[in-house]
Structure 1
Amino acid sequence: MSEKKNWVTRWDEVPQREEVKLDDKPWFHGKIAREEAERLLEPWRTGTFLVRESTHYVGDYTLCVCIDSRVEHYRVILDHRKLTIDEEEYFTSLPELVSHYSEDADGLVSRLITPVVSQKRDGGYSSQFEKAGWSIERNQITAGRVIGRGNFGEVRKGSYQGQDVAIKVMKDDKLQSQSFLAEASIMTQLRHPNLVQLIGVSSGASLWILLEFMSKGNLLDYLRSRGRSVVRKIDQIKFSINIASGMMYLEEKKFVHRDLAARNILVSDEDIAKVSDFGLAQHDRDLVEKSKIPVKWTAPEAVRNKHYSTKSDVWSYGILLWELYSFGRVPYPRVPADNVIVFVEDGSRMQPPDDCPDSIFDVMLKCWELNPTKRPTFSSIQRRLEDLKRQLLTDTKKMETDF
């Protein structure tokens, strides 16, 4: 009896469809009253927000932000074609202002986390996926067993058109679904053999997001369950190159992952490593609000100042390499998470894993430069690893010949 094949046996077999680019101001509700804004923001979860036209100051706006069980209303002043809340930071547009306060509260009661989408602008987010060819009817999908869980809901193995897929089943939560659809729109714009592929979205009682099914699970579990008896040095460097290639593509697209770690790398049936959660995980931002930043994987400037960039992803990649060559050990094994940033800022670094080649540890150390500008690009990392792979293959062939 033949087994089902994965939806994507080759990443480029996925039909090319249009990119979904959602409205850049879905949170703008126009001229609504204060009371209407507060009604729309119920149940007042911290970080939920919208923007409306000011009812008292013509030409200005009001940013409405939830904190605990109340709503704060901030006047956004239009001053010489620039927008400001505190007359210290100025922005050229509302999306720029929202983007800034999404990264850092910077004086607000909360960082902006979840937008309340205007129904006038929404037109149904899901309808935009349908127009672009990404919408899938629910009756075409068979959902199977649960294979993972997260704050967003659960992940199930399923099938679509006779192929295995992974299904992210979102909680029945309109605000969160809107946020995830916004992130899924990013995935429609990304296409690379070392990124997990979006297959489509399905709307119903809950939102389903279909992804390429990776039969061997995440890299962390893969390493821990197989160990040195199965995972060879050539496998380690191939995985390293796979991940660097996917990240190089994201670097070129100016997309920041924010949570690069072995747990977010998936392994295909063909032993190809692919970066996952590059769209859907990073806006599960309750983790950040609850100070659960994965400190041991995160660059110091991102922990201290929430300054995420491709260079902070490079730092995380160095940690991921350490995980890969230690066969899934937790980084900084003798350093408490609360002390990690002081540890690295003082100039200390982890020791190389057992049997880790010096050349690979050198790549890790370059990724862990305290000054982000001194860290390598993913492009240069990938080239260096390709060189090391060729050298390893040459050395292996020579040993076999000598033997």
Structure 2
Amino acid sequence: MLQSPLLLHLFKGPHVTKSELNLLQLIKSGKEGVFYQARMTRGTCKGHSMFTCKISKEGVRPKHVDMEASIMRKLVHHKNILQLLDWNTTEEPYLLIMEHVGGGTLKTFLQSNRVRLSADPELQSLLTIASYHVALAMQHLRSKRRVPLRWYPPEYFKNSYYCFKGDVWAFGIVLWEMQTFGTLPYPNLETLHIMRDCWLDLYRLRPSFTDVVCMLESIMESDADYVDVENPQLSVKDEDEYREAECLQAASILLEDTSPM
């Protein structure tokens, strides 16, 4: 069976390996991989002396990395998308090598330019334009297992309900992050949960100090933006079938439950 030139290129032998990389600085730890600012131990990668490297986490399937690489190669030469330089899905950890982003992530850019952005109306206008493009990109977001707690709507956790209005909720959180220059949504959420566990009426249900230490270490070391949801039964319905009053009520309950004491 004939394959496309893209697929033939994807399944050629190994490309860059981790042993050839000099990892300089951690950029971000995500759901499926860790991003580093890096360079080659010798020479360059396709003429780039500095680049961004995504190293997959344990358990990520190579076909998912192949799919990501395939999509990025189709979007080559787009001025607003990182260009894929090289990849490796033949041995773990799987790698994606992309152009270096000097400004960092949107969050770090907002945090490091807080004063300048708040004083420049033109940049504020650019942020509004960026919000529009973020909204377009969020149309494809759907997750059924490990979900971003701070960005998912309350009806998902209360009733296993998700529709496109859930993306609207998440987009509102992104706008809030942009207007507060990258501040973490619900910053005391995990700590509040630990506090409530410590104050349970039934003393037998309260955690031990060992449990508390483990929970605190988990907050500091893991990607606390995500939570595991076991076999959610999603009901993705049309907008007309969804009752707005129930959504607003669920949102009100969640905000009351997660507000700092």
Evaluate the alpha carbon distance shift between residue 296 and residue 342 of structure 1 in structure 2; reply closer, same or farther with a 3 A threshold.
farther
Please name the residue that 1:129 is paired with. Answer: 10
CA contact (8 A) 1:136 1:200 kept: no
Please name the residue that 1:166 is paired with. Answer: 52
**Is residue 126 of structure 2 the alignment partner of residue 238 of structure 1?**
yes
Cα deviation digits, residues 74-116 of structure 1 (max 9, x gap): xxxxxxxxxxxxxxxxxxxxxxxxxxxxxxxxxxxxxxxxxxx
Please name the residue that 1:324 is paired with. Answer: 178
CA contact (8 A) 1:195 1:246 kept: no
Please name the residue that 1:392 is paired with. Answer: none
Please name the residue that 2:204 is paired with. Answer: none
Instruction: Report 1:4-403 matches (<5 A).
Output: 129-130=10-11, 137-138=15-16, 143-145=21-23, 146-147=25-26, 148-150=28-30, 152-156=32-36, 157-158=38-39, 159-163=44-48, 164-171=50-57, 176-190=61-75, 192-206=78-92, 207-229=94-116, 231=118, 232-245=120-133, 247-248=135-136, 250=137, 256-258=140-142, 288=146, 293-303=147-157, 304-305=159-160, 307=162, 309=164, 311-332=165-186, 344-345=251-252
Evaluate the alpha carbon distance shift between residue 221 and residue 308 of structure 1 in structure 2; reply closer, same or farther with a 3 A threshold.
farther
Evaluate the alpha carbon distance shift between residue 138 and residue 195 of structure 1 in structure 2; reply closer, same or farther with a 3 A threshold.
closer
Q: State the Cα distance separating 1:165 from its structure 2 match.
A: 2.1
Cα deviation digits, residues 130-173 of structure 1 (max 9, x gap): 47xxx87328x952224244464533323512213211122565
- The whole-number CA distance in structure 2 between the counterparts of 1:233 and 1:299 is 31
Query: Cα RMSD (Å) of the superposition?
Result: 4.2
CA contact (8 A) 1:138 1:204 kept: no
Evaluate the alpha carbon distance shift between residue 295 and residue 149 of structure 1 in structure 2; reply closer, same or farther with a 3 A threshold.
closer
Q: Secondary structure at the match of 2:128?
A: helix
Q: State the Cα distance separating 1:256 from its structure 2 match.
A: 1.4
- The whole-number CA distance in structure 2 between the counterparts of 1:185 and 1:324 is 30
Please name the residue that 1:76 is paired with. Answer: none
Query: Which of 1 and 2 has higher RCO (CA within 8 Å, sep 6+)?
Result: 2
Q: State the Cα distance separating 1:246 from its structure 2 match.
A: 5.2
* Residue ranges of structure 1 left out of the alignment (5+ in a row): 1-16, 21-126, 259-281, 350-403
Evaluate the alpha carbon distance shift between residue 298 and residue 196 of structure 1 in structure 2; reply closer, same or farther with a 3 A threshold.
farther
- The whole-number CA distance in structure 2 between the counterparts of 1:177 and 1:326 is 37
- The whole-number CA distance in structure 1 between the counterparts of 2:153 and 2:72 is 24
Evaluate the alpha carbon distance shift between residue 149 and residue 243 of structure 1 in structure 2; reply closer, same or farther with a 3 A threshold.
same
Amino acid of the structure 2 residue aligned with 1:129 = L
Please give the TM-score of this superposition, normalised by the length of structure 2: 0.53
CA contact (8 A) 1:167 1:208 kept: yes
Q: State the structure with more CA Rg.
A: 1
Evaluate the alpha carbon distance shift between residue 187 and residue 161 of structure 1 in structure 2; reply closer, same or farther with a 3 A threshold.
closer
CA contact (8 A) 2:155 2:250 kept: no
Evaluate the alpha carbon distance shift between residue 312 and residue 136 of structure 1 in structure 2; reply closer, same or farther with a 3 A threshold.
farther
Give every structure 1 segment of 4 or more consecutive aligned residues whose post-TM-superposition deviation is greater than 6 Å.
Answer: 333-338
Q: Secondary structure at the match of 2:140?
A: coil
Q: Which has a greater percent of helix?
A: 2
Amino acid of the structure 1 residue aligned with 2:16 = R
Please give the TM-score of this superposition, normalised by the length of structure 1: 0.37
Q: State the Cα distance separating 1:235 from its structure 2 match.
A: 1.9
Please name the residue that 2:234 is paired with. Answer: none
CA contact (8 A) 2:45 2:85 kept: no
- The whole-number CA distance in structure 2 between the counterparts of 1:18 and 1:313 is 36
* Residue ranges of structure 2 left out of the alignment (5+ in a row): 194-247, 257-261
Q: Secondary structure at the match of 1:160?
A: coil
Q: State the Cα distance separating 1:216 from its structure 2 match.
A: 1.5
Q: State the Cα distance separating 1:190 from its structure 2 match.
A: 4.7
